[in-house]
Every structure is written in C-alpha cells, then in structure tokens.
Structure 1
Amino acid sequence: MAPNAHEAKMAHPRMAAGALFFDAAGRVLMVEPSYKDYWEIPGGYVETGESPLHAAIREVQEELGITPPIGRLLAVDWAPNEAEGDKVLYLFDGGQLSQDDLAAITLQPEELKSFAFVSSEEIVERTIPRLARRILAAAEARNEAAPVYLEHGQKPGSEAA
C-alpha cells in the first residue's frame, strides 16, 4: 500500500478536553453557554501540539478565570459526529473546588451566561443525552478510582438508554 493511501485511511479525530468539578454534595459544576441551548462542562477543543490535560487547564482558565489543580483522567469518549467527523473527548477530575476558587470564578462573558452545581437528575435535564451519559460515567469512574473508556458516552457493549 502506498504511504499516502495508508495515511488517508488513518483517523484524524478532533480532540476535546474538559474538567469535572464537584461540590461537597457530589454535584457537578456545569456552565450555561450563550451560544447553545443546553448546558456544558468547562472545556473545549485541544489545539495543535497541545496535550488534552493542558487543553482542559487552559479552557478552565479561559472560561472560569481560575486555575485549580486538574487531576487524573476520568473518561475517554469516542464520539463521532456527522457534522464534525471523528471526535475523542477527555474528561479530567477537577476535584472539589475551594471556597476561594468558587469566589474567584469569573465567567467568560462572550461565551457563558451562568454556572451551577447540578445533581445527576439535573444533568440529564440540562444537557443532551450523549453528554449526560459521558458526565455520569466519568463521575462514576471517579468514585471507582479507575478511568473508563466510552463510545458515545457509554461503555462498549452496554445497551443504549
């Protein structure tokens, strides 16, 4: 096989990375974008030459104005999108935010309207099913102290909800 033909078959996925932050009750911090009709988690696309972890740290700083320590990988989700092609999404553990971090949050005004800590039930209500599955699986992986591999927000072989 010619090198160009082989390379043409290789996936060139878009990568995105985000962080899950928790409060003392175990609720997840979500943000309300001004440009979407559903809530998200802090994060965004990985730039060329940037690691997924660094992208998560940068996006949290850009979106929330804080630089808390970002911990271990919680989940990797392969989630191809018809419009955008192959996507691989990384979720990292932001841990429990301190009172100082919470007080220092300054939302990126051109992108975000608000933020809130939300329960598992509220996550499902506030966002799209694929993202809700990804967040809930990552939160579960945090409790199990082991990262999880997902496809479309689900463990391979599990039935679609």
Structure 2
Amino acid sequence: MTPETPMATPRVAAGALFFDEEGRILLVKPGYKDGWEIPGGYVEPGESPRAACHREIAEELGIPASVGVHLVVDWAPIDAEGDKILFLFDGGMLSDQDLAAIIFSDGELTEWRFAHADDLDRLMPARLVRRIRTAIEAKNRGTAAYAEHGVEPHFRP
C-alpha cells in the first residue's frame, strides 16, 4: 500500500435489539423522520461500538442498559452517506420496570412499541429489516453473523 492508496473511512453505528416476553422487538419512533428504528446511533471518535450502544440507549431511552453479545456486524454503505459498518447487540429482555422507566429526555424520540419480526416490513426501511432478521437468526443459533446489506453472504467451502 502506498500513501496515495485510498482507504475506507466508514461511518460506524451501534444499536440493540430488546425483546419482550412474546419475542417482539422494541422499536422507537424518531421525531425527525418517518418510520421506526431500533435504539442506537453513531459511534463517536475514540468510542467502541459497545460503549456507543450503551450511551445511545441511556440518551434515547433514559434507562441503563447492559447489552450482551454482538449479533451482527453489517457492511451497508448508502450512496448518499458512503461506507457504513453497523453493529447490532443483544439487549435481552426488558422488564416491566424497565419499560415504565423509559423517558425521552433528549427529544429525539417520540414513542416506543413492540413489534413482531413479521410486521417490520411495513414499519421501517428494508435494509434495517434485513439486518434485524439476520440478528434474530444469529441469536437463535447462538453465533454472531457477518452481513452485507443485512444479508449473510453465502461462502463457498
């Protein structure tokens, strides 16, 4: 590699999948755009994806979170924004006490709800739906996944 060789400088984001007793996923509604998201956001300089996930959950939901293992790392560039690497962590199950404590103190979010994985297509962008479904599959089989545009590539033996 020479000094002139361009290198990727991806944006990095991290989010968590939280579940209820029925296996539904916690979704949050941003006030600044249409559709639903999962809790999380961009990683700041010098911050790890896990630390960013904890910070974003505390900022967005007002609850402390101790996220578990990472479920998926997704390479998902967008033409308008460039390269992106997105981490999804297992947030586990939220208790009734956790849910009662949710507050939107920074004004970024306006509401939350739980949804079944089968209902996500009508609630959020397809790229996020693919990533969430890949993360759920990874959680169910007990191994982390690598994805591109939300889908695990098929590797040849």
Alignment pair present for 1:156 and 2:138: no
What is the one-letter code of the residue matched to 2:13?
A
Alignment pair present for 1:37 and 2:20: no
What is the one-letter code of the residue matched to 1:17?
A
Distance in 2 of aligned mates of 1:122 and 1:113: 20
Shift of 1:109: 5.1
CA contact (8 A) 2:59 2:106 kept: no
Distance in 2 of aligned mates of 1:110 and 1:62: 10
Shift of 1:151: 0.5
Please give the TM-score of this superposition, normalised by the length of structure 1.
0.92
Distance in 2 of aligned mates of 1:35 and 1:18: 18
Distance in 1 of aligned mates of 2:2 and 2:113: 52
Distance in 2 of aligned mates of 1:46 and 1:70: 15
Shift of 1:143: 1.1
Q: Of the candidates 72, 75, 78, which is equivalent to residue 75 of structure 2?
A: 78
Q: Which residue of 2 aligns with 1:19?
A: 16
What SS class does the counterpart of residue 132 from structure 1 fall into?
A: helix
Q: Give CA deviations for 1:32-69 in whole Å, capped at 9, x if unaligned.
A: 11111110000000000000000000000000000121
Distance in 2 of aligned mates of 1:144 and 1:109: 36
What is the one-letter code of the residue matched to 2:87?
Y
Distance in 1 of aligned mates of 2:86 and 2:22: 26
Q: Which residue of 2 aligns with 1:144?
A: 141
Q: Which residue of 2 aligns with 1:93?
A: 90
Q: Give CA deviations for 1:131-157 in whole Å, capped at 9, x if unaligned.
A: 001011101111111011110011114
What is the one-letter code of the residue matched to 2:75?
W
Distance in 2 of aligned mates of 1:15 and 1:68: 20
Distance in 2 of aligned mates of 1:154 and 1:81: 15
Alignment pair present for 1:111 and 2:99: no
Distance in 2 of aligned mates of 1:156 and 1:104: 39
Q: Which residue of 2 aligns with 1:65?
A: 62
Q: Of the candidates 101, 123, 133, which is equivalent to residue 120 of structure 2?
A: 123
What SS class does the counterpart of residue 53 from structure 1 fall into?
A: helix
What are the ranges of 5 or more consecutive residues in structure 2 without an aligned counterpart?
none
Distance in 1 of aligned mates of 2:87 and 2:110: 24
Please give the TM-score of this superposition, normalised by the length of structure 2.
0.94
Identity of aligned residues (%): 55
